[in-house]
A and B are shown apart, each in its own frame.
Chain A
């Protein structure tokens, strides 16, 4: 088990946190925001471990509220306590809100050009890659036993193939998986 890397980084400025979240928020077209966040915070900046990030992701999904905002609060809090959480959530929401409102204001001008739609579709397709690479990384890391492989497969099938809503899927799979992990930990001493 690696040493706990979750200590808030004392040198991170609030502005640095805010601007990193803003950058992620404003460059995320076509969804996949959590993929961008993982790439930035875990792979590029190494402010969080992958495990910390994935825990936050699962909890953010299971809790009520908007997932990426929940995740921003979680990550911001890990980085710099309450002020970090505030900086993260504001960076994620406020600049994007200004852009979205401006977009509505110029909507009529933009929508006249068919090229706008073509460009957006291309950007969206490339953005799916972010989500997928994140899933592959998470899968490689998460699957350490037969039980966890089965949990991952069942979760995937339930959502993608059977189209179950997220909440009941998490409500069933998470306790099973956590109980199995607790059992393994207990046996390992």
Chain B
């Protein structure tokens, strides 16, 4: 059974589902170790290609797991790996959401909601600044990012237009 690649994918990704705390970034190093060293599904260069593509593709960055699965066993592998990384932690959050609905309006819940808001705000601002710091394209990227922030704050412009505008600005410049 241990030789079945689909089982191996589950053995790799189910534990990582519970370990990926604070975003998918934290478990990527371990995905690399298992895919390349432990199971030998691919070499370093192949892993890095998949990693870059998972950043470029839309959707959650952790779809890297699905790409690894695809490399191992086609669509069945992709679906198995995605289920492995997403389902276990999802069940936990589902339980939490249920609990939350049951005690709606309780004072402790109001305190949690009020108390978590500034923590969330600080996290979002920090994430934005980390992204801004790591951006490629220098001042142009900053200008595009800040302009798009202002437009989103003060207009109801569709984000599609902004993304297209960002692409256009870069195209015209380079």
Which residues of chain A have a CB within 8 Å of any CB of chain B? 1, 4, 6, 25-36, 39, 51-52, 54-55, 57-61, 63-70, 73-74, 77-78, 82, 85, 89, 92-93, 95-97, 99-101, 103-104, 107, 115, 118-139, 141-144, 148-149, 151-156, 158-160, 165-167, 169-170, 173-174, 177-182, 184-186
Contact = CB atoms under 8 A, between A and B. Distances in A.
B21 interface: yes
B131 A73 contact: no
A132 B117 CA distance: 16
B146 to A, nearest CB: 7
Contacts of B48: none
A27 B159 contact: yes
Nearest to A107: B53
A119 B90 contact: no
B115 A69 contact: no
A167 B60 contact: no
Interface in B102-136: 104-105, 107-108, 110-132, 135-136
A136 B145 CA distance: 14
A66 B145 contact: no
A128 B131 contact: yes
B98 A135 contact: no
Give the one of B19, B21, B160 with max A CB within 10 A: B21
Interface of B: 17-24, 26, 49-50, 53-54, 56-63, 66-67, 70, 75, 78-79, 82, 85-86, 88-90, 92-94, 96-98, 101, 104-105, 107-108, 110-132, 135-137, 140-142, 144-153, 159-160, 162-163, 165-171, 174
Contacts, number: 351
B173 to A, nearest CB: 9
Give the one of A30, A32, A58, A103 with max B CB within 10 A: A58
A156 B113 CA distance: 19
A82 B18 CA distance: 21
Nearest to B19: A64
Given A118-B170, A173-B122, A165 B22 contact: yes
A100 B81 CA distance: 14
Given A59-B96, A65-B93, A129-B150, 6 more contacts: A4-B105, A61-B120, A100-B58, A132-B149, A136-B125, A165-B26
Given A64-B17, A121-B141, A178 B162 contact: no
A156 B126 contact: yes
Given A25-B59, A100-B66, A123-B163, A129 B82 contact: no
Give the one of A99, A104, A129, A151 with max B CB within 10 A: A129
